[in-house]
Structure 1
Amino acid sequence: MSDATFRPARQGGTGLAGMFAGLRARIAARRIYVDTVRELSRLSNRELADLGLHRSAIEAAARDAAYGRV
């Protein structure tokens, strides 16, 4: 493997520590997404409207909460 093809982990530096830090960050973000979808899905349509959301926008709102605007 040449230096040109080596890519360090996205978060937390390089090597195994960086790989595990990146994995932990992705798992944490996924947990935020799942929890947000679950909590918003439990709300009534009226409660969602009070928040300015339609039921069809729950997954997009959860993605924004977990991963930021893409």
Structure 2
Amino acid sequence: MHRLLEHVRRHKVNIDGNVTTVMVTTLVLEGWQRKLDPEYDAMSALQRLLFKVDWAESLFYTMEGVMAP
């Protein structure tokens, strides 16, 4: 996320305030998590959760239902 924010700043791209709030909150929570348990990698756990095949299929199915005529 740090690299992403660097690119955003360098290229003067505007990000919606809600998205920025989520990003900053995630960074703060990750910092707290590292202080509580330095060996646990919250971002890795989050990646595994979000990029599961079943999750992606479920999201696609949901999006089809929302976009249906």
| TM-score w.r.t. length of structure 2 | 0.40
Between Structure 1 and Structure 2, whose CA radius of gyration is higher? 1
Q: Which has the higher contact order (CA 8 A, sep 6+)?
A: 1
| TM-score w.r.t. length of structure 1 | 0.39
More helix as a share of residues: 2
